[in-house]
Amino acid sequence: MSELVVKASKLTKVYKLFAEEIAAVNNVDLEIVSGEFVSIMGPSGSGKTTLLDMIGCLDAITSGQLEILGKDVSAMAESRLVKVRRGKIGFIFQDFSLIPTLTALENVQLASYFAGKSQKTQKMTVFLEKVGLGPRVNHLPKQLSGGEKQRVAIARALATEPKFLLADEPTGHLDTENSQEILNVFKQLNQEDNLTIIVTTHNQKLGSQTKRTIYLQDGKIVS
Amino acid sequence: MNVVTIACKNLKRKKIRSTLTIGGVAIAVAVLVSLLGFDRGYQQSLTGNIDKMGYQLLVTAKGCPYEAATMMLKGGGGLRYMEQDIYEKIQNDARIDKITPQLVSTAYDPDRLEGQGGFAMYMGITDSYLELKPWSKFKSGQWFSSEAAEEAIMGYEAAEVEQRLVGDKIFIPNIDKVLTVVGIFERSGTQDDGIIFLPLKTTQQIFSLPNKLTGVGIKLKDIQQVGEFEEDLYEEPGIQVISMAQVRGTILNLISSAKVMANSVAVIAIFIAVIGVVNTILMSIFERTREIGVMKAIGASAADIFKLIWTETILVCTAGGILGSIFALLGSGVVEHIIKKILPYAPSGQLVLIRPSLLFGAFVGAIILGIITGIYPAWRAASMRPVEAIRTGE
Ligand SMILES: Nc1ncnc2c1ncn2[C@@H]1O[C@H](COP(=O)(O)OP(=O)(O)OP(=O)(O)O)[C@@H](O)[C@H]1O
Ligand SMILES: [Mg+2]
């Protein structure tokens, strides 16, 4: 039996902008079990990032219910949310978001450090090899190509030994070829390590390669 | 990877900015260390100088006691004269342990200091002078051959300035007198080093000051009796009694206002340095808002971020503290030179005394400064909300 990774019911996020209220995510019901590879698609402003942030315990929810890895996080404040995500959820961002002063290896170590896990170079190298970074481990981010940077970012997410990965438009800054390669890394992680992965994307071609696709529009799941 | 290495790497990112901030702290610390070093050094030198005069009381002709005291410390006497009778009268007082009469005279020598001209100082003394200063040692030569010998003993520096050895002649300008050098004292670290000593009687004779003295130094058997003894001497006309303890207090008072001002400068420097540090760190966390958000997303807790920024601040302050201490050590000679020029009275000896304990204090102080100033920026960074931080600058 697969474990429930995400369980959302009537999940809602409302942003107040002046007098206006925007329901960025509106009454979403969603269940994701471990081992899934899900893509979230939808037009710009449809609430993909907002939904992902809530699932990643980066942001408090407005109403509804949200359980992550069996924990009810609906009413949690940041000080408690950090305990849920630390070492359990791996994040990957569109713009890679590596720490520019740290080498590839050190960026990966940093995540282990925050997660309170071993920082042994040998272990870090395993993660870097898994994403296909090979010999460039001692390069600074600025000495790496976009595709390579995103590989480091994935290795960094893996270093915390997370239960699932969240990637917000991980290929948004990459060309077609690199995008496909990054997606291949995700596929491999999902298949070989049975890692649960949730990505948002605008790219139909990539979205179609995941096991499941959720379409959002105006904060609601349309299919 | 630990918090210190990450913090160091962050500071290295903006090298010039970090260096300038550290420099600001360093200057403030250097100023403070120099001032505190001066505070200790000055008191110690002054006390040392006064102790090395050997007497606790000085009897001089009436006049401004402070002027007389300063003159005395500078080299032996205000140039007012008192009668030798008084010395004869009081020398047998039972309370006195040691007593020595002195007659100071100066002569302008146009050839001194490589032709710049300057005053040479002469002091007429008797055998009792050395009894008050048992630590005085001859570098070469010996004591005068007789009470009225036409001989001179030179202080260490005086001998160096005049380039004289035992057996050489020295010429006293204005009065056209030639004396033979019979001894040269070792360096004492006091004003005595610059004086040319003559027998008292010779001095009185060649400067045409028969039976005159400029001062009488007295050491009592019991220091508790100073007050009583002083009071008894009030009766004597034409003289005043100065206690060296008073002189010390007065001089310390004289420089205390200067010290207050200098200390305020140091406090302001520290204050500016603190503002600089807070400004730099705040600027760097605002620039790194997104990065901090990302760190939080990959598992950093508020405490982790707090520690990181706190460490950066403490590192800046500590580096500033160490650098400032080095500046203070290297610059103490220069500071000393300036202080000696500015101060109304500067005792000889090391005026800026920077002890290891002071340096250690500066080091600890800088760390504490970092701990305190780091709290606000660290708290600001730690309380950034991850989503907002990540969305900043997108
Ligand atoms: N901090 C905020 N304050 C107010 N409104 C916000 C905020 N963040 C997002 N929104 C709004 O919420 C809605 C959903 O935004 P979100 O970023 O989740 O969309 P998205 O699907 O990720 O878009 P994109 O594909 O362009 O990344 C948008 O209308 C956006 O304007
Ligand atoms: Mg988005």
Residue A197 belongs to a domain: yes
The dihedral built from the CA positions of residue B226, B59, B123 and B153, taken in this order, carries a sign that is negative
Tell me the sheet residues that pair with A197.
Answer: A37, A165
Q: How many residues does chain B have?
A: 394
Ligand approaching nearest to the C-alpha of B385: 1
Q: What is the C-alpha separation between B365 and B368, in angstroms, rounded?
A: 5
Q: Is the pLDDT of residue B333 over 80?
A: yes
Kindly indicate whether the ipTM for this predicted assembly is greater than 0.85, answering yes or no: yes
Q: A58 to chain B: which residues are within 8 Å by CB?
A: 296-297, 386-387, 390
Q: Nearest chain B residue to A157 by CA: give it.
A: B298
At A56, which helix (H) or strand (E)?
Answer: none
C-alpha closest to that of A64 among A116, A8, A120, A118 = A8
Q: A85 to chain B: which residues are within 8 Å by CB?
A: 297, 299
Q: B302 to chain A: which residues are within 8 Å by CB?
A: 78-79, 82
d(CA B388, ligand 1 centre) in Å: 12
Cβ A95–B394 below 8 Å, yes or no? yes
Tokens of A58: 């980066």
The residue behind tokens 């007012």 is: B80
Site from B6, B294, B298, B311 to mutate, A interface, most A CB atoms within 10 angstroms? B298
Q: What percent of chain A has pLDDT over 90?
A: 77
Q: Nearest chain A residue to B290 by CA: give it.
A: A97
Tokens of B296: 């939080």
Q: A111 to chain B: which residues are within 8 Å by CB?
A: 298-299
d(CA A23, ligand 1 centre) in Å: 10
Tokens of B330: 């290297």
Whether the Cβ atoms of residue A170 and residue A185 lie closer than 8 Å to each other: no
pLDDT for B29:
93
Tokens of B265: 């400068």
Q: How many domains does chain A have?
A: 1
Cβ A58–B302 below 8 Å, yes or no? no
CA distance B272 to chain A (A): 29
Q: What is the C-alpha separation between B384 and A187, in angstroms, rounded?
A: 34
The residue behind tokens 């001989």 is: B151
Residue A138 belongs to a domain: yes
Residue A75 belongs to a domain: no
Q: What is the C-alpha separation between B206 and B150, in angstroms, rounded?
A: 9
**Helix B356-382 and helix B15-51: axis angle, to 10°?**
150
Q: Nearest chain A residue to B11 by CA: give it.
A: A101
Q: Render pLDDT for B230-259 as a digit per residue (tens, 0 to 9).
A: 888 887 888 888 888 888 888 788 778 778
Q: What is the 3-state secondary structure (H, E, C) of B306-360?
A: HHHHHHHHHHHHHHHHHHHHHHHHHHHHHHHHHHHHHCCCCCCCCCCCCCHHHHH
| Alpha carbon distances (Å) from B172 to A7, A52, B102 | 107, 99, 18
Question: Which residue has better confidence, A215 or B64?
Answer: A215
Tokens of A165: 């990965």
Tokens of B357: 């304990």
CA distance A170 to chain B (A): 14
Mean pLDDT, range B52-62, rounded to an integer: 83
**Among the listed ranges A149-158, B112-121, B177-186, B281-290, which one has the minimum average pLDDT value?**
B112-121
d(CA B391, ligand 1 centre) in Å: 10
Per DSSP, chain B holds a count of helices (H) and strands (E) of 14, 12
Contact partners, residue B15, CB within 8 Å, separation at least 6: none
Q: Render pLDDT for B130-180 as a digit per residue (tens, 0 to 9).
A: 888 888 889 999 999 998 899 999 999 889 888 899 999 998 887 888 999
The residue behind tokens 């009810």 is: A72
> Could you give phi then psi for residue B73, rounded to 5 degrees?
-65, -35
CA distance B31 to chain A (A): 34
DSSP symbols for B96-163: EEEEEEEEEEEEEETTHHHHT-EEEEEEEE-THHHHH-TT--EEEE-S-SSTT-SEEEE-HHHHHHHT
CB-based pocket (< 6 A), ligand 1 = A 15, 17, 22, 24, 42, 44-50
| Surface-to-core class of residue B189, CB atoms within 10 Å of its CB (0-12 exposed, 13-18 middle, 19+ buried) | middle
Mean pLDDT, range A51-64, rounded to an integer: 94
Q: Is the pLDDT of residue A1 over 80?
A: no
Q: What is the C-alpha separation between B133 and B54, in angstroms, rounded?
A: 6
Range of the domain at A182: 36-60+87-221
d(CA A46, ligand 1 centre) in Å: 7
Mean pLDDT, range B65-71, rounded to an integer: 62
Residue A51 belongs to a domain: yes
Residue B392 touches chain A, beta carbons under 8 Å: no
Query: Atom of ligand 1 at shortest distance to CA of A17?
Result: 4
Site from A13, A59, A81, A140 to mutate, B interface, most B CB atoms within 10 angstroms? A59
DSSP character at residue A69: T
Q: Is the pLDDT of residue B345 over 80?
A: no
Q: B387 to chain A: which residues are within 8 Å by CB?
A: 53, 58-59
pLDDT for B77:
45
Cβ A82–B297 below 8 Å, yes or no? no
Whether the Cβ atoms of residue B34 and residue B328 lie closer than 8 Å to each other: yes
Query: Atom of ligand 1 at shortest distance to CA of A46?
Result: 21
Q: What percent of chain A has pLDDT over 70?
A: 100
Contact partners, residue A85, CB within 8 Å, separation at least 6: A56, A57, A58, B297, B299
Q: How many residues does chain A have?
A: 223
Cβ B299–A85 below 8 Å, yes or no? yes
CA Rg, chain A, in Å?
17
| Alpha carbon distances (Å) from A187 to A39, A124, A181, A184, A211 | 12, 21, 10, 5, 10
Contact partners, residue A133, CB within 8 Å, separation at least 6: A104, A148, A151, A152, A155
Tokens of A67: 């359980």
Q: Nearest chain B residue to A87 by CA: give it.
A: B299
pLDDT for A13:
95
Q: A100 to chain B: which residues are within 8 Å by CB?
A: 13
Residue B337 touches chain A, beta carbons under 8 Å: no
DSSP symbols for B259-304: HHHHHHHHHHHHHHHHHHHHHHHHHHHHHTHHHHHHHHHTT--HHH
What mean pLDDT value characterizes chain A?
92
Q: Nearest chain B residue to A156 by CA: give it.
A: B298
Which residue among A79, A86, A110 sits closest to B6, beta carbon to beta carbon?
A110
Q: What is the C-alpha separation between B189 and B70, in angstroms, rounded?
A: 17
Which residue among A78, A102, A114 sits closest to B385, beta carbon to beta carbon?
A78
Interface of A with B (CB under 8 A): 53, 56, 58-59, 78-79, 82-83, 85-87, 90-91, 93, 95, 97, 99-102, 106, 109-115, 119, 156-157, 160
Residue A174 belongs to a domain: yes
**Among the listed ranges A162-171, B69-78, B154-163, B225-234, which one has the minimum average pLDDT value?**
B69-78
Tokens of A141: 């981010």
Which residue among B291, B298, B302 sits closest to A111, beta carbon to beta carbon?
B298
Residue A154 belongs to a domain: yes
What is the pLDDT confidence band of residue B70, given thresholds at 50, 70 and 90? low
Give the number of other Cβ atoms within 10 Å of residue A77's Cβ.
8
Q: What is the C-alpha separation between B237 and B242, in angstroms, rounded?
A: 15
Give the number of other Cβ atoms within 10 Å of residue A72's Cβ.
11
What is the pLDDT confidence band of residue B114, given thresholds at 50, 70 and 90? low
Q: Is residue A159 classed as helix, strand or coil in its secondary structure? A: helix
Q: How is chain B split into domains, by residue range?
A: 3-49+251-393, 63-237
Q: What is the C-alpha separation between A158 and A188, in angstroms, rounded?
A: 13
Q: Is residue A21 classed as helix, strand or coil in its secondary structure? A: strand
In the sheet where A4-17 sits, what is the strand order? A20-33, A4-17, A63-68, A71-72
Tokens of B42: 């000055």
Q: Is the pLDDT of residue B108 over 80?
A: no
CA distance B312 to chain A (A): 14
Q: What is the C-alpha separation between B169 and B164, in angstroms, rounded?
A: 8
CATH code of residue A138: 3.40.50.300
Contact partners, residue B276, CB within 8 Å, separation at least 6: B20, B21, B24, B25
pLDDT for B394:
56
